[in-house]
Structure 1
Amino acid sequence: MLFPYTYVPHSMEKMQGFIDFIFLDVWCKAPGAGPFGLHLFNANPELQEVVTAFHYSDAQGANFFNGHVQNIHGLFAALPPAQIGQLQAWYHGNNNLEQACANNPASLLARYADLDALAPELGQQLATFFKGLYSQSLLGLKALRDKIGDIDDHYQAFVKANATGKCPFCGLSDLFGEYHSKREAYDHYLPKALYPFNSINFRNLVPACHHCNSSYKGSKDSAYTPKDPCSKQVRRKLFYPFAPHPWHVEVQVSLHSSAHENLQPNDITLDFGPPEFAEQIDTWKGVYGIEERYRAKLCGEDARDWLEQALTQQRWHDESQGAKGRPASAYLQEIAEYAHERPWANANFLKYGFLQACAATGMFQAASRSLRAPQSEIATRGSV
């Protein structure tokens, strides 16, 4: 992740508060609490109003919500204290996204496979419930929407506070913004297909471009390494999307060919830093296909145009004896300033690295020598 988002408080957070209450104060207290009933929500009047309205509704989302809350309550009622304690620890761990991303060993992280191993029937019910929470058929119901607000309103507040307009997971794609009638999908940073309890936690919901969200990340397990030949996985660090202190990912480009008109992915080496974020950077690169995508960008028309702009400036400078254009060194300095001040606009962070690499291969010097060569020499070169 090239840069973190600013977290935006919103009334939609109430939904996570409702789920906290259901899990910790209704389900985990089910043993010995007697039969399920609306009285169990007395301590949370707003949630009680919602479940009461759902009780008298025939909407699919209302039946889904209340039905699962009641069924899961019955399954919790039969659990011993040790299993209740384990589920509570997993619930807190999965919802502490900052510690989960830091791979803090004190913060437990559970997947649905862990729930299935603990209590298979309960695991299946929890999977259906939490995977179905992030659904317009539920979130769009008036009784709930009146309490928590609307996700489209959250998106508008979010893009106003995060106004770069670029996807922070790649730095290449534009995001729908304040003046669009559409919005980006929210990605479940820890995938809801794999991780219970946090599917409606807005610290686990991050707008991402379609390429990052769907084409590359999908349901990859971002918190674990891919399976090795022995099917073993290990926990790993990943960038926390709402980190309070920004970081700066460095991208250095090296080219192994000066044939810029026919540059191939294998001609490009990408190095990333700084070293203190090496593990997070490796996770980010693997999950979002960063190296493949950056190489493809540098082999495409945008990069050819970046180079052509620089060569054109130098050609004008050489042909006019300095009256027009700029030498390559001056142009690169200007791009360096853009990359420092506005790295994500126009992919300046990648543009500068690419042009630096072009300079290192001697492309600008070769172009300048070609312009200064006598016409007879140029003709001779062309006939070889």
Structure 2
Amino acid sequence: MLFPYQFIENHSIYALQQWMDDLFLNVWCTADAAVDYNIDLLPDDLKEITLAIFYDARITTDYLYGPIERVYIIFQGFDQPTKDLLAQAYKNNNNVLDLCKQQNGCNPYVYSTLQALSEPLKNELISFYKSLFTSVIHLKAVQDKIGTIDSHYDEFVTTNDERKCPFCGLNSIKGPNRTVRDAYDHYLPKDIYPFNSINFKNLAPMCHECNSSHKLRQDPITSPNTNARRRAFFPYDTDNGYEINIDLTFSNPDINTLSENDVTVNLTSPTHQQEVDTWKEVFGIEERYKEKCASKTDGKYWFMQIHDEYNNLPFISKVFYSKGKHIQNVIKSARTNPFAAGNFIKASFLESCAKMGII
């Protein structure tokens, strides 16, 4: 991830996650075998929308009323250590920062582990948590209480106004005045991890290519080859930033005939190498940057452009202004606004050409 997003700290839509926290930790995890379920056990706001949805004849799916009761009954059969384990699992899965950074002893909890504990509970929860994001949050009774995802998106992209996808740096993120928006990606996939489907610290706007062509259902914190934990960039990191170096080498010195197979992309970081390795694997970064370098409208154009710009200077200017100086000025200019027009790759591309002595 080339740069982190700034999290929107206050938005009414977060209330749904707060209600779910209360439901899981203070209703389900305290379910007493001697106390029959009653909707009055729910916090007032959750009770209100549960009843509103249940009695709305236009809504034919029971998203909350029945599932909440069925899960309560399952929890009634658990001993206290099992309830405590699930409470901690819930807290861990909603601590996306610590899961990404592998810190503070925070370990993820997955549906396969939940199935081993209780298949009926797993089946109830996977349907329940998916529906919160795909359906419940879009219902009028809920939106009247907490607002809409669209309103959150507008505020989000007003604050995060780079208009560039930080997961690739190549494609745009739609702004607040568009009639459509980019999708929120479940950074920790909702098919793998329970409890966090509406946690907005696990939801990040992402360009269509990153979301639908590359990341898909990939798990950024678990290696697909070994199932070992791995560190990943947290989309809303607030630390002092990190440095990612992009070094390019070309096996073919003729840029006009350069192909993706001629390009080697080396991505390194002095402080976040494991995160970089995860990022480039999940989002197909190397192949995408290779394509950029070999494209007629990117790498090959940059190469032609720098020649044309210098050759078109007046003769007298060239007396005092060498081509090497011109190249360095273009690189410096690109680095001042790295995410405009692919400048972060352009700068590395031109540096590599200069090192090879081909410009």
* TM-score interval, normalised by the smaller of the two chains: over 0.9
Tell me which of 325, 328, 334 is aligned to 2:329: 334
Alignment match, 2:147: 149
CA deviation string 1:263-308 (max 9, x = no partner): 1223222222222211000000000000011001111121111111
**Aligned equivalents of 1:84, 1:208: Cα separation in 2:** 36
CA deviation string 1:180-201 (max 9, x = no partner): 1110000000011111100000
Alignment match, 2:228: 234
Contact 2:53 2:59 in 1 (8 A): no
**Aligned equivalents of 1:314, 1:304: Cα separation in 2:** 16
The offset of 1:12, in angstroms, is 1.0
**Aligned equivalents of 1:5, 1:134: Cα separation in 2:** 21
What secondary structure is seen at the aligned counterpart in 2 of 1:128?
A: helix
CA deviation string 1:210-241 (max 9, x = no partner): 110110000011111112xxxx3100000011
State the TM-score, normalizing by the size of structure 2.
0.94
The offset of 1:59, in angstroms, is 4.2
Does residue 247 (structure 1) correspond to residue 248 (structure 2)? The answer is no
CA deviation string 1:94-124 (max 9, x = no partner): 0001100011261120111110111111111
Instruction: Please say which structure displays the higher CA radius of gyration.
Output: 1
Contact 2:334 2:344 in 1 (8 A): yes
CA deviation string 1:13-63 (max 9, x = no partner): 11110110111111111133622222102xx32222212222322344761
Alignment match, 2:113: 114
**Aligned equivalents of 1:325, 1:116: Cα separation in 2:** 73
Does residue 263 (structure 1) correspond to residue 258 (structure 2)? The answer is yes
Does residue 81 (structure 1) correspond to residue 76 (structure 2)? The answer is no
Contact 2:157 2:176 in 1 (8 A): yes
Does residue 272 (structure 1) correspond to residue 262 (structure 2)? The answer is no
The offset of 1:153, in angstroms, is 0.3
Alignment match, 2:192: 194
Alignment match, 1:11: 12
Which residue type is aligned with residue 307 of structure 1? F
**Aligned equivalents of 2:76, 2:354: Cα separation in 1:** 69
**Aligned equivalents of 1:18, 1:102: Cα separation in 2:** 27
State the TM-score, normalizing by the size of structure 1.
0.88
Structure 2 unaligned spans of 5+? none
Tell me which of 308, 312, 324 is aligned to 2:308: 312
Which residue type is aligned with residue 25 of structure 1? N
Alignment match, 2:183: 185
Indicate how the Cα distance of structure 1 residues 345 and 325 shifts in structure 2: closer, same or farther if over 3 A, else same: farther
Alignment match, 1:210: 208
Alignment match, 1:374: none
Does residue 98 (structure 1) correspond to residue 94 (structure 2)? The answer is no
**Aligned equivalents of 2:60, 2:272: Cα separation in 1:** 42
**Aligned equivalents of 1:21, 1:33: Cα separation in 2:** 21
What secondary structure is seen at the aligned counterpart in 2 of 1:206?
A: strand
**Aligned equivalents of 1:59, 1:328: Cα separation in 2:** 71
Structure 1 unaligned spans of 5+? 365-384
**Aligned equivalents of 1:8, 1:343: Cα separation in 2:** 24
